[in-house]
Structure 1
Amino acid sequence: MSNILDKAKAWLTSTFDSDTVKDVRKLIDTDQKLLEESFFQNLDFGTGGMRGIMGVGTNRINKYTLGKNTQGISNYMKSVFPNEKLKVVIAYDCRRNSKTFAHHVADVFSANGIQVYIFPELRPTPLLSYSVRHLGCQCGIMLTASHNPPEYNGYKVYWKDGGQLVPPQDKEIISEINALEFTDINFNRNSELIEELDDSVENTYLEKAANNVDFNLSEDAKKALNVTFTSLHGTSITTVPKLLEKAGYKNLQLVDAQAEPDPEFSTVKSPNPEEPEALEMAIELANKQKSDLAIGTDPDGDRLGIAVRNKEGKLVLLNGNQTMVLMTWYLLDKMKQNDNLKDSHFIASTIVSTPLMKVLTEAYGVKYMESLTGFKWIAKLIKDNPELDYIGGGEESFGYMVGDFVRDKDANTAILLVCEMAADLKSQGTSVYEQLIKIYKDHGFFKEDLVSLVKRGLEGAEEIKAKMVELRNNPPKEIAGEQVVLIEDYSTSEAKNIQSHETHTLDIPQSNVLIYYTENGTKVAARPSGTEPKIKFYISVNSTLETVDDFESVDEKLNTKIDKIKSDLGLTE
């Protein structure tokens, strides 16, 4: 505790503004637990950049932690691009303080002689990713905490390829940041180096998105599709309606109560399309309007959740794996119909996503590539394999990226792809839901579930660490009555066959992930979240589906198996 108190007292100096000093003094005098939470560690970069609760302290998002990051990045940019004009683009979402933080970040970059382009109003993350390359910047910053609760904010860093930071830049920049003191931050804004962007960048992005997802459907097919959309109080309200109109989808219903940006996300428990409750208002409106689809996005507009009508006409939510598989099928099938598939094409997904992605992709004779969780790794696959042509790819957490003009998950383009697929299938007298069942019949019925155990604060972090140690030291020998035959440990890059005791090296960067495989193809992955105080367990089971009429009975069998796995592994709060 004395170390924490020393760290806190350092924030009582003239380096920090009077409001910060006052808040830190109050913590020292009145709230030891919150003081400990605020200063026990330095906020780290995770899977999706840096995210944390807003407030004073080294473990919080504030002017000074963001300023230190930005000063470190400025120093790094000068060292690795010594003979280039340095440029950075900044965007921000709807959260409390996002605009203010964005301008603090702009102040530091400009104070270091770096040209800054900044969006004048909130805009979605994929537009920021696109803008990095479009404007010829070496770096991009997005102020967002994605789908985290209202008390959070965050800082995503993009590099010159438009993707988020990956090795070696991430570790080099973190070293640069860690070498700094808060006194080293230069906040002296140079207004001459800060330029507010007009609509031209956004317009070119929307044009590319519309052209990237255009399968020459008839005007009648597009008119026949009825879509309900909610931005869940976030940024995509600025882009999705424009994009769908540009692409010819006029029959769009907006959830007005959620269309206004709101940092409190006042109509939802969580602005996360992974959570079924988030789309309740959209589904209610979709039922009134007899919509074919209900679609929602997270606050920074990179994830999407969709509900489609089942065989009885009821709207049902698809999970991220199902949505990803459907979009991938549609892209591959259309390219095959047009004889556009080449040996150089590839589809990408992540190690915790459904195995069906690999099965489906290879059935079309296309290369499948896998990465760690997070789209920065998919972007790295594109960058590291310039001889290959990326088609699309996604991950189970409701993200998808169509083409490589954006180098991060993009709900805008993905929504347009879903609409194209739904309109096309409807014009043929079938549906998205029926097509999903057909995929299961043709390629195997894979069903997934996710269990997230929330462990907050210092104690929670220790619990998560202890759980991963336990899983490594005492791995399960059986899961749901099936023998475990293979264990992949991405922290050591080692895969071990339990029966033969043979090992092989995993050709993926190291990460704190464990995956167990059983003799019947059941897969369970354990991974601490890189953006939230959670440990996540990803479960995948599978079966054959002989006929579409067997769907309900096989679905029930797989649900029972998933429940057994949860029980066996003690995956309850």
Structure 2
Amino acid sequence: MTTLEKAKLWLTDIFDEETRNAVETLINSQSPDLEDSFYRELEFGTGGMRGIMGVGTNRLNKYTLGQATQGLANYLHQQFPGEKIKVAIAYDVRNNSKEFGKLVADVLTANGINVLLFKNHRPTPELSFTVRDKKCNAGIVLTASHNPPEYNGYKVYWNDGAQIVPPNDEEIIKEVYSVKFDEIKFNGNDELIEWIGEEQDDVYIDACIENSLYQKDKVGYDNLNIVFTSIHGTTYTTVPKALEKAGFKKIDLVREQMIPSGNFPTVESPNPEEPAALEMALDLARITNGDIVIGTDPDGDRLGIAVRNLDGEMQLLNGNQTNTILTYYILDQWKKSGKITGKEFIGSTIVTSDIFFDIAEKFGVDCKVGLTGFKWIGKMIRENEGKEKFVCGGEESFGFMTGDFVRDKDSCGSILLACEIAAWCKANGSSMFKYMIDIYKDLGMYYEGLINVVRKGREGAEQIHQMMKDFRENPPKEIAGSLVEEIKDFKEQTCITVSKNEKKVMDGIPKSNVLIYYTQDGTKVCVRPSGTEPKIKFYVSVKDQISSEQDFKDKLVTLNDKIERVKTDLNL
């Protein structure tokens, strides 16, 4: 069926007048958007379903959301026959999110399913917490994380509070794609909706405080200068209250950015990975003599942290650096309190820094690794409940979680922990940045770079496919002056040791279109198409040994240069 034929199906009476008019305009104007709107069906990726809002099968709208929710409702009835099924729904600040949240609730209640619906914007981790706290069968959050304003998304959580994983995700997708648009039940029953709000915030915040803080005497809490921004996102509802309740006294908010808005008017991108997103917060920190600057993404699961470097200037830490500090500190506290028994583990991902293996070994715990995305860390927790104790987990894309009370990355708990570390360091005449260097002196200095190659639309998707094919069939023999020693192909589930011409099967991790190259000097390059954005990502990790702060400065230059050589060698 051609794209035009697919589009004309949306001109029938199945669709409302507003949708029909929009599709007709696309057709009559011969808009280039017609092709991208209808050439495929919107897919579930590592973060669920995410796409540009608008009409069409490849857009997020009333009908694609309705189809996804009807499919989920059908699956829930299959999995919990005869039960009173309950689903929690949250949504972020994005345009249409609130309306989409009610739309999704209506489809569920039209199918006889009870809904707990937040009255207003709430962070994704609070939804994850609420699923478990309220003993729900599933959860849904409407969010597109840090994508541009034209995007929105839909993530599904299972009854453990974690995002869906196999086999549930595959079975739900089958149900979703089997639903015809005329089979969606849109006429909801408001009597099946329970509205929730600030009372749930308090329960969630108390759990964050209980699970994320270790200094009972609150060392330095009253002397840490904190600057926080929600970057127009959902954490205006939770983080300031959590910091105050935990006992931190000096909290300055970027007032202009505490106003929720799906247009994100003060930034180009609401992505805390990018220094520009924290520019207003950094400006405020210069005025207030801030010790730590923190920003979160729109749905409040990821955090960016800037602290003062060795020259006294504010510097944004990358995700691996932040997680290194948090993980090392937690395990050190566990060790000091005698909580490590050898049956504990931390969680990481295949694209995250290998320093977490070193940290785990130092403290006598296991480091489990999964595919990209926190749903795989959630899966680790579920599979090991009653056998091993989960301590914490993180991934390079600015996500971290402490304990298992939330089963997804959680900025609120992570912010509390980061502020405690910063306060403790300051009270002891040090800093969070110096603490990181001390860790590197102990374990070796790892440094990472991320290269994003954006390729939009249908043609872009084909180019990304070809790039992966080329890297798979013609792997580099040398990277940045060091021979490639090991090639891991997670799609083929093979590991090749080049010098031994030896191939082994890797079946401990599900198949995924990811390649990792290790060189003889320890350089790591991971190649992976994004599951939620039109880009292919190259994760580069290099390492060396350091013995002093000056050594750190010198090696930072050489490791940066090495990452640039990697880019050149891979033609990026």
Give the shorter-chain TM-score range: over 0.9
**C-alpha distance in 1, partners of 2:522/2:193?**
54
User: C-alpha deviations, 1:418-438, integer Å up to 9, x for none?
Assistant: 001111111111111001111
* Structure-to-structure mapping, 1:108-507, within 5 angstroms: 108-219=107-218, 221-386=220-385, 387-506=387-506, 507=508
Q: Matched residues in 2 for 1:453 and 1:381: separation? A: 31
Following superposition, the deviation at residue 502 of structure 1 comes to: 1.5
| Counterpart-to-counterpart distance in 2, 1:58 and 1:466 | 24
Aligned match of 2:516: 515
Partners of 2:153 and 2:248 in 1: CA distance: 34
- State the distance in 2 between where 1:113 and 1:55 align: 28
Question: Per-residue displacement from partner, 1:76-108 (whole Å, max 9, x unpaired)?
Answer: 000111132101010011000000001110000
List aligned pairs for 1:100-111, cutoff 5 A.
100-111=99-110
Matched, 1:71 2:70: yes
* Partner deviation per Cα, 1:397-447 (whole Å, 9 max, x = no partner): 000010000000000000000001111111111111001111111101111
The CA distance in 1 between the partners of 2:260 and 2:217, in whole Å, is: 34
**1:57 corresponds to:** 56
Deviation at 1:306, TM superposition (A): 0.6
* More moved, 336-345 vs 561-570: 336-345
- Count of aligned pairs between the two proteins: 570
Contact 2:223-2:249 at 8 Å conserved across structures: no
- 8 Å Cα contact 2:517/2:525 also seen in 1: yes
Question: Equivalent residue for 1:38?
Answer: 37
- 372-381 or 216-225: which moved more? 216-225
Q: Percent identity?
A: 53
Q: Secondary structure at the match of 2:45?
A: coil
Amino acid at match of 1:391: V
- List 4+ stretches of structure 1 deviating above 6 A: none
Counterpart AA for 1:538? Y
Could you tell me which amino acid in structure 2 is paired with residue 565 of structure 1?
Answer: V
Post-superposition Cα deviations, 1:452-504, rounded to whole Å, max 9, x if no partner, equal: 01111011100100000000011000001111011000001111111112222
CA distance in 1 between partners of 2:257 and 2:201 (Å)? 22
Aligned partners of 1:217 and 1:424 also within 8 Å: no
Alpha-carbon offset, residue 54 of structure 1: 0.2
Compute the displacement of 1:311 (Å): 1.9
Q: Match for 1:68: what amino acid?
A: Q
Deviation at 1:66, TM superposition (A): 0.3
| Distance in 1 (alpha carbons) for counterparts of 2:105 and 2:549 | 56
Native 8 Å contact 2:132 2:161 kept in 1: yes
- Give the secondary structure class of the aligned counterpart of 2:546: coil
State the Cα distance separating 1:217 from its structure 2 match: 4.6
1:522-541 aligned within 5 A:
522-541=523-542
1:446 match: secondary structure:
strand
Cα distance, 1:171 vs structure 2: 0.6
Query: Gapped runs of 5+ residues in structure 1?
Result: none
Distance 2:40 2:348 in 1: 32
User: Structure 1 residues 220 and 134, CA, compared in 2 at 3 Å: closer, same or farther?
Assistant: closer
Structure 2 counterpart of 1:562: 563
CA distance in 2 between counterparts of 1:417 and 1:526 reads 32
Q: TM-score, normalised by structure 2?
A: 0.99
1:270-293 Cα offsets, whole Å, 9 max, x none, are 000011111111000011000100
Query: Which residue identity is paired with 2:336?
Result: Q
CA contact (8 A) 1:217 1:420 kept: no
Q: Distance in 2 between the 1:515 and 1:449 partners?
A: 14
Distance 2:213 2:273 in 1: 27
Structure 2 CA distance for aligned equivalents of residues 564 and 199 of structure 1: 51
Once the two structures are superposed, what CA deviation does each residue of 1:524-547 show, in whole Å capped at 9, x if it has no partner?
000000111110000001111133
Which amino acid in structure 2 is aligned with residue 122 of structure 1? H
Query: Equivalents in 2 of 1:404, 1:509: separation in Å?
Result: 23
C-alpha separation in 1, matches of 2:516 and 2:20: 46
Partner Cα distance (1:31, 1:332) in 2:
59
Counterpart contact for 1:446–1:543, Cα < 8 Å: yes
TM-score using structure 1 length: 0.98
Instruction: Give the aligned residue type for 1:265.
Output: F
SS of the counterpart of 1:557? helix
